[in-house]
Chains A and B, each alone.
Chain A
Amino acid sequence: MARIDNLSETELPVTLDRLTADLNELKSRQFIGTDNLVVQTTDTGGGFDVSGYSLAAYGQKRWRVTFTPTTAANAYVELTYLYSLVGTTGGETIDYYPDPDNSSSDSFRSWIIVVNAQASALSVYIKARVKCIDTGVLTWVAL
């Protein structure tokens, strides 16, 4: 018969039973939500990503913004941004949409941001930041 340190012969089986019960509880479905989902924010780390770009009157300019998460495949990502269009006279637009040319990869997400000038030339400023459960890298490409 084995004796293990100072545990009585009845205490050890009870302890093992409790451990097993705790493990089974952990292995049951865990709810993820308000209290325990951690979302990261990522940006390029600098000031404006597009800073003072000159857009001619009635011109259009597009940029591709791509977020590549560090580990998560098919990561759910939200794009947020702010902008300033300097020199507007009315009717100028800035829009974004999911990048149709890069929609099939599960390793990154990308969007197109498009600015349309009207009767006056513009100076364009844009800063983007994404939300994701993963860290990653945010890159810009002018199109």
Chain B
Amino acid sequence: MNRLDVNDLTTRVADLRRQLDELKTAQRIGGASLVLQLNSSALAYDLATSSLAAGAQTFLTPQFNSDTQEFPYVDMTFRVFMDSTTNEVRPGMTGYPVVRVYQFIVGTPNANSWVLRITNPTGTAHTYYFKFYVQSTDSGSII
């Protein structure tokens, strides 16, 4: 049977107190501990424009419904396909649309949305297909 030593007991309680005080100070959260998720749908594309006439513009509003957090951090990127869902165009390529993006005001919890203003810069009509990727502190679905 262990026998209690008063000196040992005092040392151990003091050590626990010190560790608790340490934990109560600011805890650093950073690269080693912040968990980010890369979210995308299983679809070939998420949203498409109608056929955009030369120089015409339209709007798309992708939305990321976060599973848990009401207002997660979100960083949205996208790939663009032109006239077919397999013909990917990239910035600098002929036909790549002018895309202006901003995150729509956060209002409804869990519903994070963006507005894309898409302009067809070419002289002929094109249809654009958008595939979205959302890096976030939460998991969720893209609609």
B94 sits at the interface (CB 8 A): no
Choose one: A31, A128, A131; the contact of B35 (CB below 8 Å). Answer: A31
C-alpha spacing A16/B9, complex, angstroms: 9
Interface of B is mostly: loop
Residues of B within 8 A of A19 (CB): 16
Residues of B within 8 A of A33 (CB): 34-37, 137-138
Choose one: A2, A37, A38; the contact of B9 (CB below 8 Å). Answer: A2
B93 sits at the interface (CB 8 A): no
- For chain A, the count of residues having a C-beta within 8 Å of the partner chain is 39
* A27-B22 contact in complex given A2-B4, A37-B69, C-beta closer than 8 Å: yes
Give residues of chain A (43-81) contacting chain B, Cβ–Cβ below 8 Å: 76, 78-81
| Docked-complex contact A131 and B73, CB < 8 angstroms | yes
| Docked-complex contact B72 and A37, CB < 8 angstroms | yes
The chain B residue with its CB closest to the CB of A3 is B4
| Docked-complex contact B73 and A93, CB < 8 angstroms | no
| Docked-complex contact A34 and B73, CB < 8 angstroms | no
Choose one: B20, B34, B103; the contact of A23 (CB below 8 Å). Answer: B20
Give residues of chain B (76-90) contacting chain A, Cβ–Cβ below 8 Å: none
C-alpha spacing A38/B20, complex, angstroms: 23
| Docked-complex contact A34 and B103, CB < 8 angstroms | no
* A34-B19 contact in complex given A2-B9, A79-B103, A82-B105, C-beta closer than 8 Å: no
| Docked-complex contact B16 and A129, CB < 8 angstroms | no
Residues of A within 8 A of B71 (CB): 39-41, 131
C-alpha spacing A93/B73, complex, angstroms: 26
Shortest distance between the CB of A94 and any CB in chain B (Å)? 8
Q: Could you mark each residue 11-43 of chain B with 1 if its beta carbon is under 8 Å from any beta carbon of chain A, else 0? A: 011011001101100010100111111000000
A142 sits at the interface (CB 8 A): no
Nearest 6 interchain pairs by C-beta: A33-B35, A80-B103, A82-B105, A39-B71, A23-B19, A80-B105
